């Protein structure tokens, strides 16, 4: 049996370890920021829900990606999405106003007398906590909510505006982290980049093929490969992501 000592790791092992450490550090920083926001409004827990299947209406759903619910996390996330998921999806499509709701019994969100213009109220459902949910839309990707829950959510209009801005930064950093996780094997080739650039400039496959001296089938193959590598559902989304990542302009 072969044993590997710590100093006998290959360069690839060391790189992988550094990448894992960097991801862990970024995650810890996000959690610390969310905890600070949570304490500011007397909340007990936080959760970040992200929208999946954004381009396919039948597949759209909110998924919890970060939370501090502890051992009950999966159950709590399921209960939240079951109770309010459809309402939150509809609200995300139409408004960026923060959403509030009351929990059962004495669980209350702060009254909206001084910030009614800055919030939207959902009808209370049978959940054991009050909450405020900050919607975030970043384009084709990175959409969802940053949510804070507790027995009583202590809010003012100034705090709502401040936390909404910070929630946008949280989602932006999560999206950037996703894009940094593209493996070297998923890096776009020069031909894939060239085809994407021309598609982004408005050329159709036949025109790209003529200008690049390729067959239409080959052009479509390059565009399809690029779309897969960029984890996109269609060519338009792939172009948008390639621009964000700096592959094309």
Instruction: Tell me the residue ranges of DSSP E strands in 107-223.
Output: 108-109, 120-121, 130-136, 144-150, 152-153
Distant-in-sequence, close-in-space partners of 242: CB < 8 Å, separation ≥ 6:
188, 193, 196, 200, 226, 230, 248
Is 69 in a helix, a strand, or coil? coil
Residue whose structure tokens are 């980049």: 193
The listed range with the strongest mean pLDDT (28-32, 144-148, 154-158) is 144-148
* The predicted structure's pLDDT at residue 109: 59
Question: 225: buried, middle or exposed (CB in 10 Å: 19+, 13-18, 0-12)?
Answer: middle
| Mean pLDDT score of the chain | 82
| 165-178 average pLDDT score | 88
For residue 108, give the nearest of 86, 85, 124 by alpha carbon: 124
* The predicted structure's pLDDT at residue 186: 64
Give the whole-number percent of the chain exceeding pLDDT 90.
45
Q: What are the structural domains, with CATH classification, of the chain?
A: 16-180 (3.30.450.40), 185-244 (1.10.10.10)
Q: What is the DSSP code (8-state) at residue 174? A: H
Question: What are the angstrom distances between the C-alpha of 8 and each of 2, 3, 56, 78, 249?
Answer: 12, 10, 48, 45, 43
Is 196 in a helix, a strand, or coil? helix
For residue 97, give the nearest of 117, 69, 73, 68 by alpha carbon: 117
Longest Cα–Cα distance of the chain, Å, equals 70
Instruction: Assign residue 22 a region (left: φ > 0; alpha: ψ between -120 and 50; beta: otherwise).
Output: alpha
Residues 201, 97: Cα–Cα separation, whole Å:
35
Q: What is the DSSP code (8-state) at residue 208? A: H
Residue 71: pLDDT band (50, 70, 90) is: confident
Residue 98: pLDDT band (50, 70, 90) is: very high
pLDDT at 1 over 70: no
| 105-112 average pLDDT score | 56
φ, ψ of residue 205 to 5 degrees: the values are -60, -40
Residue 68: pLDDT band (50, 70, 90) is: very high
């Amino acid at each position: 049996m072969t044993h590997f000592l710590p100093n006998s790791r290959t360069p690839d092992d060391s790189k992988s370890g550094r990448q894992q450490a960097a991801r862990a550090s970024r995650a810890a920083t996000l959690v610390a920021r969310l905890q600070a926001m949570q304490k500011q409004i007397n909340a007990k827990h936080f959760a970040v829900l992200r929208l999946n299947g954004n381009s396919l209406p039948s597949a759209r759903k909110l998924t919890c990606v970060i939370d501090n619910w502890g051992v009950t996390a999966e159950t709590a996330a399921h209960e939240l999405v079951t109770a309010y998921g459809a309402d939150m999806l509809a609200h995300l499509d139409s408004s960026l106003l923060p959403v509030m709701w009351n929990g059962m019994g004495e669980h209350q969100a702060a009254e909206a007398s001084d910030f009614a213009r800055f919030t939207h109220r959902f009808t209370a459902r049978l959940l054991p906590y009050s909450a405020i949910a900050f919607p975030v839309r970043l384009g084709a990707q990175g959409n969802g909510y940053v949510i804070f829950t507790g027995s009583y959510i202590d809010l003012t209009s100034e705090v709502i505006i401040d936390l909404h801005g910070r929630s946008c930064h949280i989602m932006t950093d999560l999206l950037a982290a996703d894009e940094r996780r593209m493996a070297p094997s998923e890096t776009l080739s020069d031909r894939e980049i060239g085809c994407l650039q021309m598609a982004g400039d408005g050329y159709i496959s036949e025109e790209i093929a003529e200008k690049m001296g390729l067959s239409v089938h080959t052009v479509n193959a390059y565009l399809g490969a690029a779309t897969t590598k960029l984890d996109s559902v269609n060519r338009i989304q792939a172009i948008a992501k390639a621009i964000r990542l700096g592959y094309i302009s």
